Amino acid sequence: MHLFDHPDFDGHEQVVFCADPESGLRAIIAVHDTMLGPSLGGCRMWPYASDAEALRDVLRLSRGMTYKSALAGLPLGGGKSVIIGNPRTDKTEALLRAMGRNVERLGGRYIVAEDSGTGVPDIKTMAQETTHVSGVVEKTTGTGGTRSGDPSPSTAYGVFVGLKAAVRHRLNRTDLEGLTVAIQGVGSVGGHLAHFLRDAGATLWVTDINAEQARRVAESVGATAVAPDAIFDLDVDVFAPCALGAVLNDDTIARLTSPVVAGAANNQLAEERHGQMLSDRGILYAPDYVINAGGVIDVYYERAGYDHERVMRHVESIADTLTEIFARADAERRPTAAVADGMARQKVGRAR
């Protein structure tokens, strides 16, 4: 396996391979950059087919976190961790505590939060071994109640304001009344997003590989549920990918007719060139790590001092950042994703 000449190695500051034979833990922690602050990022648990696949994922995801926090204006660097294993069958308290000890050994250079395959209870288990955790503390809400540490509602709110900014730029409209939106994946983020959009008057189509989940969300927001593969062929204003990565590829981009793509999923572009392909087709793409930064903003304030209004104002700044990216992309005739990468690299002094 290649390491220093790995295609996704981007001068990462530290890549730690963690093994704990007693609990069966096999994990990788990647600290990409701590120029702006300690690295913060989720811990993904996934049954990777190979160690190489896990390494590729953690290298790419940790770099994405550097860019995400930089453009969200947070004093944080980028890091991420992956546990190789099936979250349904391999997750034990011993394994999570062993992961916590590995995080602790980094002395605060990496702060762990939840990601696919891990949730608030898992991070709380890691917290028995380390203080370098986030996304675990109950938070106040706008209505004076409390909610769990799960950052998904803030992520969804950021996607909502970012989607509005994209619609304003591309379709020249400020209200969402009657706007047609197709949401792929109505889990934690997609589900909340559907409610924000419904309340703003949008007409929705939803899909999920979990058909029961799609039916439940469709019923609660008055949306039309469609089969997973049908979501790319709808004649809508906005396609909102809120499921998996690599969803924007040769096949799907050729099928999409929506003038805007704005959603929460990480690593939406299958390859860098797909940013250009979207732009060539006249589709305005809201770069994923910019529009989905509401979650990292939320977990940042959990450690810095949580105040609901302050967090919401910070999340709303995602719209301004996107508007600047869209304007620059127009002026420079470059894909929005390339413009965002350039701005992020400049912020962390990694411009090459």
| Cβ at position 52, least distance to ligand NAD in Å | 21
Q: Which stretch binds ligand NAD (CB under 6 A): 26-34, 93-101, 175-183, 239-247?
A: 239-247
Using CB positions, name the residue nearest to ligand NAD.
187
Which residues in the 124-183 window bind ligand NAD by CB under 6 A?
151-152, 155
Q: Which residues pair with 244 in a beta bridge?
A: none
Nearer to ligand NAD, 78 or 151 (CB): 151
Does residue 73 belong to the site contacting ligand NAD (CB under 6 A)? no
For residue 7, the surrounding DSSP H or E stretch is none
Sequence-distant (6+) residues with CB within 8 A of 135 are: 42, 113, 114, 120, 123, 149, 150, 151, 298, 299, 302
Does residue 78 belong to the site contacting ligand NAD (CB under 6 A)? no
Nearer to ligand NAD, 98 or 206 (CB): 206
Instruction: Measure CA of the first residue to CA of the last residue in the chain; give whole Å.
Output: 26
Residue type, position 41, single letter: G
β-strand 238-241 against 224-225: which pairing, if any? unpaired
Nearer to ligand NAD, 92 or 148 (CB): 148
184, 258, 279, 321: which one contacts ligand NAD (CB under 6 A)?
184
Does residue 242 belong to the site contacting ligand NAD (CB under 6 A)? yes
β-strand 238-241 against 77-84: which pairing, if any? unpaired
102, 125, 188, 252: which one contacts ligand NAD (CB under 6 A)?
188
Which positions from 32 to 51 touch ligand NAD by CB under 6 A, shown as an x/- string? --------------------
Does residue 187 belong to the site contacting ligand NAD (CB under 6 A)? yes
Reference 155, options 298, 288, 260; nearest CA is 298
Q: Establish whether 80 is a catalytic residue.
A: yes
Does residue 342 belong to the site contacting ligand NAD (CB under 6 A)? no
Q: Which residues pair with 79 in a beta bridge?
A: 31
Nearer to ligand NAD, 98 or 238 (CB): 238
38, 79, 100, 185: which one contacts ligand NAD (CB under 6 A)?
185
Nearer to ligand NAD, 71 or 98 (CB): 71
Catalytic residue among 80, 91, 139, 164: 80
If DSSP codes are grouped into helix, strand and coil, which group holds residue 39? strand
Which positions from 292 to 311 touch ligand NAD by CB under 6 A, shown as an x/- string? x--x----------------
# chain residues binding ligand NAD, by CB under 6 A: 24
Does residue 77 belong to the site contacting ligand NAD (CB under 6 A)? no
DSSP string, 83-94: EES-TTTT--HH
Does residue 87 belong to the site contacting ligand NAD (CB under 6 A)? no
Which residues in the 262-291 window bind ligand NAD by CB under 6 A?
264-266
How far apart, in whole angstroms, are the C-alpha atoms of residue 211 and residue 240?
Answer: 18
Does residue 243 belong to the site contacting ligand NAD (CB under 6 A)? yes
Torsion angle, alpha carbons of 244, 54, 44, 17, to 10: -160
If DSSP codes are grouped into helix, strand and coil, which group holds residue 42? strand
If DSSP codes are grouped into helix, strand and coil, which group holds residue 16? strand
207, 252, 279, 321: which one contacts ligand NAD (CB under 6 A)?
207
DSSP string, 114-174: E-TT--HHHHHHHTTT-S-B-S-S-EE-TTS-EE-S--HHHHHHHHHHHHHHHHHHHH--S
The count of other CB atoms within 10 Å of the CB of residue 148 is 15
| Cβ at position 100, least distance to ligand NAD in Å | 21
How far apart, in whole angstroms, are the C-alpha atoms of residue 206 and residue 195?
Answer: 12
Does residue 228 belong to the site contacting ligand NAD (CB under 6 A)? yes
Active site residues: 80
Which residues of the chain form contacts with ligand NAD (CB under 6 A)?
116, 151-152, 155, 184-185, 187-190, 207-210, 213, 228, 242-244, 264-266, 292, 295
